[in-house]
Amino acid sequence: MKLRSGSKLGVLTSGGDAPGMNAAVRAVLRVGLELGFEVLAVEDGFSGLLEGRVKRIDLRALDEAARRGGTLLGTARSKIFATPEGQKKAREVIAANAFAALIVIGGNGSLTGAHALLGAETPQGTLRVAGLPASIDNDLACTSMSIGVDTAMNTVVEACDRIFDTAAAHKRTFLVEVMGRDCGYLAMTAGVAAGADVVLVPEVGKGEGEIVEQVLAAMDRAYGKGSDKHRVLVIKSEGVKVDITRIKELVEVRASKLYPGVDTRITVLGHVVRGGAPTAFDRLLGARLANAAVRALADGETDFMAGWVGPGIVAKACAYDPYVVLSPLAEVLAETANLMSGESMLAQWRKRIYQEVEPILRR
């Protein structure tokens, strides 16, 4: 059944912020208004929902925010929401605000939360829910890209370009750690784009001994006889559980004898990778996924995530955008679990490519 004009549409951002979230919220508001809905923001994700913090959104403020990172709505990782009491409270707030539909913008935990709200009863009938994938980690299934990944990748590449300059000036080896939780996608794609010598990702699963050998081999190629290379760049995904300072220590013990005078330095990029103005791609991705989601909700769809077509996505594009697929949330969550445990086709494809890239970077 189509959503009635004047229906209330709630929107929230949840989990780790991702550049492009604001652009997605802006599109929810603009498309929602165009279709005749009242769009309301929930502050600070599911935490704000539990506290009934619902407000009108200022379009002009969102227009400004769409050019910036973070999220104007605020975000949080709520532990209480996952409990039975939290769920009950959330359903009460949804009913009290008479939401006809709720759009959740976030990662795996956030979409799990959206799916859990299914069946919530409101004065408008049963709540409709939709998710938009947003996480710099790119660890969600049923979308080739999540909102924020492209910006984060560009940020890492820019940081590496800067590090290259100083590394080469001093003839140094740099170990650069990037975010990504348990997913090596960001480290690997940024590493290839930046021209790193070694990229360490959790999917390939190397132990500390193998990692040290790999770094030393890269140093040998750079600083050994017949080479005029003056720097080595190693990108390590935070998902690789060997501590970066431990890698440095072990490398230095051997390198100090082999290449005296060549220093090894560490840069942990941390939250620098998550902030910053979204790229044009992330702004458009957020806007197009939001546009499709609002239109699908209006047409009566529920319990889906709007994802971006591309490698690994076999579903048919939706009626609203040839680059957007709508997948049931249950399927998204199950496939994401398979991706993270290494069982899905996409996980195996990524692992194989990562292994193939390693000797190519070595040249």
Point out the residues that are catalytic.
137
| Both structure tokens of 163 | 């590090």
Which of 26, 30, 128, 181 touches ligand F6P (CB under 6 A)? 181
- Does 336 help bind ligand F6P (rule: CB under 6 A)? no
| Both structure tokens of 324 | 């957007």
Residue list 208-267, contact with ligand F6P (CB under 6 A): 238
- Does 274 help bind ligand F6P (rule: CB under 6 A)? yes
DSSP state of 46: H
Which of 13, 112, 135, 264 touches ligand F6P (CB under 6 A)? 135
- For residue 12, the minimal CB distance to ligand F6P (Å) is 17
Residue list 39-68, contact with ligand F6P (CB under 6 A): none
Closer residue to ligand F6P, CB minimum distance, 43 or 197: 43
Residue list 105-134, contact with ligand F6P (CB under 6 A): 107
Q: What is the amino acid identity at position 45?
A: G
- Find the helix or strand (DSSP H, E) in which 327 lies: strand 324-328
Interface with ligand F6P: number of residues (CB under 6 A): 10
Build a one-symbol-per-residue string for 5-44: x at contacts with ligand F6P by CB under 6 A, - elsewhere. Answer: -----------x----------------------------
Which of 78, 90, 102, 137 touches ligand F6P (CB under 6 A)? 137
Rounded to 5°, the CA angle 165-168-169 comes to 85
Q: What is the amino acid identity at position 17?
A: D
Closer residue to ligand F6P, CB minimum distance, 144 or 237: 237
* Cβ–Cβ < 8 Å for 145, 237: no
- Does 188 help bind ligand F6P (rule: CB under 6 A)? no
Of 243, 199, 270, the closest CA to residue 16 belongs to 270
Stretch that binds ligand F6P, among 55-63, 95-103, 174-182, 350-358 (CB under 6 A): 174-182
Closer residue to ligand F6P, CB minimum distance, 179 or 329: 179
Closer residue to ligand F6P, CB minimum distance, 108 or 264: 108
- For residue 186, the minimal CB distance to ligand F6P (Å) is 8
What interhelical angle do 329-341 and 108-116 show, nearest 10? 150
Of 15, 11, 23, 73, the closest CA to residue 285 belongs to 23
* Cβ–Cβ < 8 Å for 40, 10: yes
* Cβ–Cβ < 8 Å for 74, 14: no
Dist CA 26 CA 8 (whole Å): 16
CA 99 vs CA 185, 262, 300: distances in Å: 36, 62, 14
Which of 20, 48, 180, 191 touches ligand F6P (CB under 6 A)? 180
* Cβ–Cβ < 8 Å for 232, 167: yes
* Cβ–Cβ < 8 Å for 76, 267: no
- For residue 356, the minimal CB distance to ligand F6P (Å) is 25
- For residue 238, the minimal CB distance to ligand F6P (Å) is 6
- Does 70 help bind ligand F6P (rule: CB under 6 A)? no
- Does 179 help bind ligand F6P (rule: CB under 6 A)? yes
Dist CA 110 CA 123 (whole Å): 24
Residues forming contacts to ligand F6P in the complex (CB under 6 A) are 16, 107, 135-137, 179-181, 238, 274
